[in-house]
Amino acid sequence: MTASASLVAPTHESVRGRSLWQDSWARLRRNRAAVAGMVILSLIIVVCIAGPWFLPWQPDAQDLKLKAVPPGTASLVPGTSTTATHWLGTDSLGRDLLVRTLKGGRVSLMVGLIATLVALLIGVSYGATAGYVGGRTDAFMMRLVDILYALPFMIFVILLTATLGEFVEQRFGNSIYVVFAAIGAVEWLTMSRIVRAQVQSLVRQEFVEAARSLGLPSWKIIARHILPNVLGPVIVYATLTVPAVMLLEAGLSFLGLGVQPPGTSWGTLINDGAKNIETSWWMLTFPALFFSATLFCLNFAGDGLRDALDVRTAKD
Amino acid sequence: MLRFIASRLLQSAAVLLAVFTMTFFMIRLAPGDPFASEKSMNPDVKKELERQYGLNENLSVQSWKALSSYGRGDFGLSMKNQGMRNGKIIRDSFPVSLIVGAAALVVALAIGLPAGIIAAVKRNTWLDVGPMSLAMIGICLPTFVMGPILIAVFGLKWRLLNVAGWFEPTDWILPAATMGLSYAAYISRLARGGMLEVLSQDYIRTARAKGVPGWLIIIRHTLRNGLLPVAAFLGPALAGITTGSFIIEKIYNLPGLGQHFVSAVFNRDYTLILATTVLYAALLVAMNLVADIIVAWMNPRVRLSS
């Protein structure tokens, strides 16, 4: 009796269930590229947030004696007041490139995060509504998405940021909000399609039928039973939207439409660097390195998540 | 197929009308106006200018007038490029964008397709890992980083090509390469994924078991299905190449339509913004249609369900 009990107990222990999330987490951890991507990405984020506090320079402080100084050689310039080194050199106005790159990183990462959240919010609620309600409403809503897909969205982002930028700057003090809104407003389309396809297949399943016959209100069914089940694809697609959004912001800033000086983002810094490529290689190299590394990590993390959560790209 | 194309054409007309209306009201309701930057302008002069361009009329009347003149093929008078008709600006600058865009597409397909196909066939060899690592780097190097790098190497260091401008017959090479390489990266990844998916199918194994030579399996049984993802990507890629021209033309200082669009937006050149936006939209709609037809041709399932 005692012997059998002691035999049974450990087997009980070992067959304890694993949730699908734990399964996915284990798969993700085995993917070395994805883990490396996430680790490096967190490093970049931490450095961008905390770095400027430990540096003796302000991002806007100019030192006209130290214009376009190559990395690490500031103290060799005669007549400098400071003994501290500009590790990444200075830009053409004598501002420290390292602190500007980190500050610009904060802005770029924030745009990536917030614009993605905006897109997420619109896309998920729109797609979930269409998929849940179904019928004519769904057909109409999705037709609208089809039409919006055919629009030249880059042009609308440019028009939005250019036309509303001044207004928002006067009203809210910073034109960056337009960039959030404009990018979020065009990036939600794919998300809504993915969510709608998922919701549509979920609505027909028995557990939703059961919830409905128990008399649960629609919003509760959506919130408790449907949304948790579409979380996987949403997370994956959101991870892959962040680099796309950051690319869009950098492109806008490169054109002079996104972040306005004296503010910086990786896009504006790359623009500065591209102008000075002939004389000062570091002004392009370092911001571009940070930017590309971030995109690299986000793409690897997104691919890894997709494999781990076993999400197929949504097909209509 | 004809019905499919006809319904798409009808839908395209609706899209263009929507783009026209949205753009018109968006730029007109936004703060600022085309004559704002000319400081200390006499109010009477400004009034006269506004009268000349018909800006003093009711907005909906203006939009109707603009629409009907578009119907006659007249894109109006530019407000900033004085005395220039928008039609002429577009005729002068659009060929530059077109040459660069077409060349970029050729570069993207000529590099991306073979790289992806070979990577899939030679899976997990250096012919797979090498090109795919390059492709990942290519995806993470945006055109505005790749462009300056190419300029630094081919223009400034080796002095092979001009770094900016549109003077010599070789001036399209660097812009087209910059844009084409990043799309080649996407295309090679899509091609590899699609090919791998098809190569693992049973009918490929059957063909192999029957002794069909490897190259024939690839050409006859794999390519058409395997390259479907690439065909589906053609629409977005063409759109991206079109609007990507804004950045490329700025990097290389090309006198293309993208430059005109961006400066028109900065200057609130109402008529030129409208003309270029409608042109871009028409282009996109047309290219999406072409891409859809290619997909339908490659994939009978799409044809039957539509």
Q: Do B30 and A251 touch (CB under 8 A)?
A: no
Supply the pTM of this predicted model: 0.82
User: Fold for domain A20-54+98-313?
Assistant: MetI-like fold (1.10.3720)
Cβ proximity of B115 and B251 under 8 Å:
no
What is the tens place of the pLDDT at every residue in B96-146? 888 899 999 999 999 999 999 999 988 888 888 888 888 888 888 888 888
Domain extents for chain A? 20-54+98-313
3-class DSSP assignment, residue B201: coil
Q: Residues A35-64, buried b or exposed e (16+ Cβ, 10 A)?
A: eebbebbeebbeebeebbeebebebeeebe
Q: Quick check: B262 and A255 CB within 8 A?
A: yes
Burial class (CB in 10 A: 0-12, 13-18, 19+), A274: buried
Output B269 or A93, whichever has higher pLDDT: B269
Calpha distance B245→A152 (Å, rounded): 13
Residue of B nearest to A144 (CA): B15
Peptide bond into A262 cis (omega under 30): yes
Any CB–CB contact under 8 A between A140 and chain B?
Answer: no
Count the neighbouring beta carbons within 10 Å of the beta carbon of residue A230: 22
A167 and B152 in contact by Cβ < 8 A?
no
What ipTM does the predicted assembly reach? 0.81
Res A315: pLDDT: 34
What is the phi-psi region of residue B187: left when phi exceeds 0, alpha when psi lies from -120 to 50, beta otherwise?
alpha
Q: Provide the terminal-to-terminal Cα distance of chain A, rounded to the nearest Å.
A: 59
Residues 6+ apart with CB under 8 A from A59: A52, A95, A96, A99, A100, A103, A262, A264
- Does residue B77 sit in helix, strand or coil? strand
Compute the nearest-CA separation of B148 from chain A (Å): 6
Three-state secondary structure readout of chain A: CHHHHHHHHHHHHHCCCCCHHHHHHHHHHHCHHHHHHHHHHHHHHHHHHHHHHHCCCCCCCCCHHHCCCCCCCHHHCCCCCCCCCCCCCECCCCCEHHHHHHHHHHHHHHHHHHHHHHHHHHHHHHHHHHHHHCHHHHHHHHHHHHHHHCCCHHHHHHHHHHHHHHHHHHHHCCCHHHHHHHHHHHHHHHHHHHHHHHHHHHHCCHHHHHHHHCCCCHHHHHHHHHHHHHHHHHHHHHHHHHHHHHHHHHHHHHCCCCCCCCCCCHHHHHHHHHHCCCCCCHHHHHHHHHHHHHHHHHHHHHHHHHHHHCCCCCCC
Tell me which chain A residues have a C-beta less than 8 angstroms from the C-beta of B277.
Answer: 152, 155, 159
Closest CA to A113 of A48, A21, A30: A48
Q: Which of A44, A144, A161, A163 to mutate to test the interface with B (most CBs of B within 10 A)?
A: A163
- Angle A249-B186-A297 from CA coordinates, rounded to 5°: 55
Residue type for position B234: L
Interface test with B, best of A108, A242, A255, A290 (most B CBs within 10 A): A255
Using the beta-carbon criterion (under 8 Å), do A147 and B18 form an inter-chain contact? Answer: yes
Chain B positions contacting chain A at CB under 8 Å are 11-12, 14-15, 18-19, 22-23, 26-27, 30-32, 136-137, 139-142, 144-145, 147-149, 151-152, 156, 239, 242-243, 246-247, 250-251, 261-262, 265-266, 273, 277, 280-281, 284-285, 288
CB contact under 8 A, A254 and B247: yes
Q: Within chain A, which residues score under 50 in pLDDT?
A: 1-7, 313-316
Q: Are B265 and A154 a contacting pair at CB < 8 A?
A: no
Q: How many CB pairs under 8 A join A and B?
A: 111
Question: What mean pLDDT is predicted for residues B85-90?
Answer: 86
What rounded mean pLDDT belongs to chain B?
A: 84
Instruction: List chain B residues with CB under 8 Å of A33.
Output: none
pLDDT digits over B45-66, tens only?
777 777 777 777 778 888 888 8
Do A195 and A123 form a contact (C-beta atoms < 8 A)? yes
Flag if B246 and A250 touch (Cβ within 8 Å).
Answer: no
pLDDT band at residue B81, thresholds of 50, 70 and 90?
A: confident
Q: Taking CB atoms and an 8 Å cutoff, what residues of chain B touch A154?
A: 243, 246
The answer, for A263 touching chain B at a CB cutoff of 8 Å, is: no
